[in-house]
Amino acid sequence: MSLRSFDDAGWSVRPTPAVKWLLGINFAVFLLQQVFRAMGNQLFADFLKLSAQKIHEGCLWQFVTYMFLHGSVIHLLLNLLMLYFFGNEVEFALGPKHFLVIYFGGGIFGGLTWFAFNFHTATSMVGASGAVYAVALAFASLYPHRPITLLVFFVLPVTLLAKYWALVAVALSVLFLISDDGGNVAHLAHLGGMAVGWLYVRRLRAAAAAPSPRPSRRDASGHPPVQTLQPRLRKSEYIARQVDPILDKIAEHGIQSLTREERRILDEAKDRLS
The Cα 175–Cα 71 span in angstroms is: 23
Q: What is the DSSP letter of 12?
A: P
Task: Report the pLDDT value the prediction gives residue 227, as an integer from 0 to 100.
Answer: 39
Q: Is residue 222 part of a domain?
A: no
Q: Are both 264 and 145 inside the same structural domain?
A: no
Task: Give me the tens of pLDDT residue by residue for the chain, a chain 274 residues long.
Answer: 334 334 444 555 678 999 999 999 999 999 999 999 999 888 999 999 999 999 999 999 999 999 999 999 999 999 999 999 999 999 988 999 999 999 999 999 999 999 999 888 888 999 999 999 999 999 999 999 999 887 766 677 888 899 999 999 999 999 988 886 555 678 899 999 999 999 999 998 888 776 655 554 554 545 444 333 344 445 566 566 677 788 877 777 777 777 777 777 777 777 666 5
Geometric angle at alpha carbon 91, from 85 and 92, rounded to 5°: 95
Q: Is residue 218 part of a domain?
A: no
Q: Are both 196 and 245 inside the same structural domain?
A: no
Element (H, E) at 44: helix 43-48
Task: Report the pLDDT value the prediction gives residue 113, as an integer from 0 to 100.
Answer: 95
Q: Are both 136 and 244 inside the same structural domain?
A: no
Q: Are both 68 and 172 inside the same structural domain?
A: yes
Q: Is residue 224 part of a domain?
A: no
Please write the tens of the pLDDT for every residue from 159-185: 889 999 999 999 999 998 888 655 567
Task: Report the pLDDT value the prediction gives residue 49, as an integer from 0 to 100.
Answer: 95
Q: Is residue 219 part of a domain?
A: no
Task: Report the pLDDT value the prediction gives residue 266, as an integer from 0 to 100.
Answer: 74
Q: Are both 17 and 126 inside the same structural domain?
A: yes
Range of the domain at 35: 12-208
Task: Report the pLDDT value the prediction gives residue 224, as an integer from 0 to 100.
Answer: 45
Q: Are both 45 and 158 inside the same structural domain?
A: yes
Q: Are both 164 and 255 inside the same structural domain?
A: no
CATH number for the domain harbouring residue 164: 1.20.1540.10
Task: Report the pLDDT value the prediction gives residue 153, as an integer from 0 to 100.
Answer: 63
Please write the tens of the pLDDT for every residue from 184-201: 678 899 999 999 999 999
Q: How many domains does the chain have?
A: 2
Q: Are both 23 and 117 inside the same structural domain?
A: yes
Task: Report the pLDDT value the prediction gives residue 61, as an integer from 0 to 100.
Answer: 96
Q: Are both 151 and 258 inside the same structural domain?
A: no
The Cα 23–Cα 135 span in angstroms is: 14
Task: Report the pLDDT value the prediction gives residue 212, as an integer from 0 to 100.
Answer: 56
Q: Is residue 227 part of a domain?
A: no
Q: Are both 16 and 132 inside the same structural domain?
A: yes
Q: Are both 124 and 65 inside the same structural domain?
A: yes
The Cα 163–Cα 141 span in angstroms is: 7
Q: Are 256 and 208 in contact (CB under 8 A)?
A: yes
Q: Are both 136 and 200 inside the same structural domain?
A: yes
**Domain stops at, among 208, 226, 252:** 208
Element (H, E) at 202: helix 187-209
Cβ partners under 8 Å of residue 126, min gap 6: 45, 48, 49, 50, 66, 69, 70, 71
